[in-house]
Structure 1
């Protein structure tokens, strides 16, 4: 039987945790997810729901459409630089741009851990249609025919979108050029940075190590270079605040690291290694145009 407006309102409150989970996984930002729920409720409240036979499914569609619009708007701004007052290291201390909802950083960090930081990082590299198809189908069992209607595509085309996204999210085994020793070294680098273990970090670095960072990493007009074990290690320690939002991923087919804040890819690290497994070079990339050129996938 079609639902009455009060049925839809009641269902919205019952489904709120699930709808919030849907929005968070599509958008990767708790602030944006809460804003999307607010907008979805305003749309639902204004809509004629007298013919809605499945209020729960209908509300999921409304939320997903709002999130899709936000993703498309975000995708159009992807080439824009960060706010000049906000370096990649400062972003985690503020609200997500464009959201009016103050969020609890601890809650957002907990959600990111539950979903998986590496997953959120790879999701941010997907196009809006791929991301929506993957999240709704693979995480919430929404049928492809329903997703296809949201995307104005056929179910077969929507299935292909989800399949492409799935391959990127699940990733592939690291190639032979990156033996397990290098994966362990990058894991150890992340652990040392998170834990503030300076000595452990120094042990991973070659005496001639060079760190190269583009101009978006810190508020300087030009890229900069740091050489030597201790200067490079001190620079890595300065990123402790961001390390909690970092994960090990494949960057252009090689083991690297990526950092996401509020679900947005902010910084990528690429590593070069000596024959003995120590790190000889670290490239720190934060310029939006350069980030967009990278191929980032999960590690299977």
Structure 2
């Protein structure tokens, strides 16, 4: 026999639609805070687990479920950022955030038109570029959380304080410090068409093994960082200097004669994908000025390429 309270618990949750609709926001927040879609998925799962661990009465007593979910997700991310820093110190080679493909690249692996991956909920804007995420990596966890919540998502410092566990004034200082780091580290952005043209020229020079053209496309103080992750060979230290990077690219082409270069969007910016015998082996993101490439990030860790390698592989363009 069912008691009245048990019967009430089996009724549809009137807040369910509002709760589920927050998932996109939570994925966007957690990916920017952690630089890893896999970790962002775990954070969102943990956040929803905590919500559904409460009784119906406890849930209904929360005036703004969306704000509650954001607070919990932010705190979970803050905890993870501390442990992630220790993990990344033990990482083989340099650690690079997980790259995201353009929507058209990973939708091909789906069936029935359903959204199988959380990446479809990540909004690609300037706060998602590889250059931006790399700068975030240099911040303290508290700086990163305060800056992302306030400057990117528009939360008041009073709300940020409840997540970070500091005063609103302290959170304002954290965000200000993070803002200075961004201004110092980021080069002025070139127009999108110009960036795409520079990357296309780089691809063509690499394919032609034209080392002189590559050197001309790379700033003299350019830096290349490659991420191996332990499962594949890693470049343990950054390669500094345009000429050194160009010669490294030439050596790589000689060692991998079956290499194919594809122009692809990487975190919303022009990038390249390396296919080796039809299999995606690396995803490359760039930072450019109006004239040259200043920074290159090459991700080779298979765990970070799952969205790129699942389902049908991208095909080479006709031209």
| TM-score, with length taken from structure 1 | 0.58
Which residue number in structure 2 is paired with residue 142 of structure 1?
Answer: 155
Shift of residue 215 of structure 1?
11
Classify the secondary structure of the residue corresponding to 1:247: strand
> Deviation per CA, 1:187-233, whole angstroms, max 9, x where unpaired?
94795159844355532439xx9x9999987848998x9x9998534
> Among 149, 153, 161, which residue is 2:174 paired with?
161
Which residue number in structure 2 is paired with residue 44 of structure 1?
Answer: 51
CA contact (8 A) 1:134 1:162 kept: yes
CA contact (8 A) 2:33 2:145 kept: yes
Higher mean C-alpha deviation, range 132-141 or range 49-58: 49-58
For residues 161 and 21 of structure 2, what CA distance do their matches in structure 1 show?
26
CA contact (8 A) 2:143 2:174 kept: yes
For residues 212 and 151 of structure 1, what CA distance do their matches in structure 2 show?
34
> Among 128, 136, 144, which residue is 1:123 paired with?
136
Shift of residue 150 of structure 1?
1.6
Matched, 1:60 2:76: no
> Deviation per CA, 1:227-283, whole angstroms, max 9, x where unpaired?
999853423556953874423289xxx944445679x99xxxxxxxxxxxxxxxxxx
Q: Residue 248 and residue 154 in structure 1: after superposition, are their counterparts in 2 closer, same or farther (change >3 A)? A: same
Aligned length: 232
Matched, 1:79 2:89: yes
Which residue number in structure 1 is paired with residue 40 of structure 2?
Answer: 33
Gaps of 5+ in 2: 1-11, 100-109, 257-271, 275-280, 305-319
Which residue number in structure 1 is paired with residue 3 of structure 2?
Answer: none
CA contact (8 A) 2:150 2:175 kept: yes
Q: Residue 49 and residue 126 in structure 1: after superposition, are their counterparts in 2 closer, same or farther (change >3 A)? A: same
Gaps of 5+ in 1: 93-102, 266-300
Matched, 1:21 2:28: yes
Q: Residue 257 and residue 105 in structure 1: after superposition, are their counterparts in 2 closer, same or farther (change >3 A)? A: farther
Q: Residue 116 and residue 228 in structure 1: after superposition, are their counterparts in 2 closer, same or farther (change >3 A)? A: closer
Shift of residue 42 of structure 1?
0.3
* CA-based RMSD: 5.0
| TM-score, with length taken from structure 2 | 0.55
